[in-house]
């Protein structure tokens, strides 16, 4: 551990020096005012091949929603930065001809889900490009919220889709425990119901009403958008029958959540390329990712200079995760059902 942190300290010192040099150099360049945080990676096309083409070749931009929405690279601000950069630099001459949303997510924060959904709609309208969503695994709750921005939703046969609903982390009350062990507490607040659902005192009837109103509002908004963007789905069916359950892709197709099941990623790319009007195989599938070593150091993989992989993992249920307290979630939570 001493050696490890010594190496980290040395690297940080060298990085500070280079950042200082870079900052001094950048002042002489007008273009340096635009900060680019994502790097380009070429992915396999519909034939399963990766090609290095000229800087004017058409591009299908793949955006990976792999994980919880609202966390790390799936924050709405990160997606916004990615979309902005897809129209700058090597991509500024309308090279991006379509978006492929690769979905494998249980959902996440309601605000981020809604913001990303509206960003994709705005991008599609502004640049007149087709948007397809491809589900390979799980597309639940906030994932569905984002996917309905697509012109078409495709899925592999073993994928699971659904969970149209809203949940807040479980509120707990410890007042009886505190009474039992003889602990007194005092909360000082101003404003009616400012300390609503305070876990350190007995709750009074009705103090949860405001939270129920918010949940109801978010749920109705979610349902309305699904019904609006999925023409084979009715509000009555969604609310009264399908609820917040998840369904295998064939059933999800039958119920109207998706357009096609039993589709491979190659077939999804092929359909999107055709919809984008690309008539040959002279195109690239590109993803933009923030792969900075400093960011990766605190994610699930350590940077390459450490020669190996270090995994950091602490699994906490959504109900107990402090990051989710006081958050309203479009999230599939099996343990809460």
Which positions are annotated as active-site residues?
141, 194
Residue 39 to residue 37: CA distance in whole angstroms: 7
Q: How many residues does the chain have?
A: 337
By three-state DSSP, how is residue 105 classified? Answer: strand
Can you give the three-state secondary structure of 53-87, one letter per residue? CCCCCCEEEEEEEECCECCHHHCHHHHHHHHHHCC
CB 68 within 8 A of CB 106: yes
Among 84, 97, 93, residue whose Cα is nearest residue 36: 84
Handedness of CA 26, 31, 37, 43 (dihedral sign): negative
Of 257, 69, 227, the residue nearest 161 (C-alpha): 257
Cα 150 from Cα 299, distance rounded (Å): 29
Instruction: Find, among 233, 255, 246, 221, the residue nearest to 145 by Cα.
Output: 221
> How many angstroms separate the CA atoms of 93 and 91, rounded?
6
SS3 category, 141 = coil
């Amino acid at each position: 551990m001493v050696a490890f942190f010594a190496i980290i300290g040395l690297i940080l010192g060298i990085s500070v020096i280079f950042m200082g040099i870079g900052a001094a150099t950048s002042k002489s360049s007008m273009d340096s005012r635009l900060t680019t945080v994502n790097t380009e990676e070429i992915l396999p096309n519909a034939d399963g091949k990766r090609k290095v083409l000229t800087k004017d070749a058409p591009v299908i931009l793949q955006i990976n929603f792999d994980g919880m929405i609202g966390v790390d690279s799936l924050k709405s601000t990160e997606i916004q930065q990615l979309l902005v950069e897809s129209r700058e630099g090597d991509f500024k001459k309308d090279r991006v001809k379509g978006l492929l949303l690769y979905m494998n997510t249980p959902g996440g924060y309601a605000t981020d889900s809604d913001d990303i959904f509206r960003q994709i709609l705005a991008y599609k309208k502004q640049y007149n490009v087709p948007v397809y969503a491809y589900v390979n695994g799980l597309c639940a709750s906030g994932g569905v919220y984002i996917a309905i921005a697509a012109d078409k939703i495709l899925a592999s046969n073993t994928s699971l889709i659904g969970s149209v609903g809203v949940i807040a982390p479980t509120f707990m009350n410890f007042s009886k425990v505190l009474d039992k062990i003889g602990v007194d507490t005092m909360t000082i607040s101003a404003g009616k119901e400012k300390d609503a659902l305070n876990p350190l005192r007995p709750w009074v009837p009705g103090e949860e009403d405001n939270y129920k109103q918010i949940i109801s509002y978010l749920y109705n908004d979610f349902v309305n958008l699904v019904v609006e963007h999925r023409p084979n789905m009715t509000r009555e069916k969604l609310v009264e029958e399908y609820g917040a359950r998840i369904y295998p892709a064939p059933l999800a197709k039958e119920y109207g959540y998706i357009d096609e099941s039993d589709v491979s990623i190659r077939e999804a790319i092929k359909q999107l390329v055709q919809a984008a009007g690309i008539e040959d195989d002279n195109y690239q599938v590109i993803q933009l990712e923030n792969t900075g070593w400093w960011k990766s150091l605190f994610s699930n993989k350590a940077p390459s200079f450490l020669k190996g992989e270090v995994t950091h993992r602490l699994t906490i249920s959504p109900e107990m995760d402090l990051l989710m307290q006081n958050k309203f979630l479009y999230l599939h939570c099996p343990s809460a059902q």
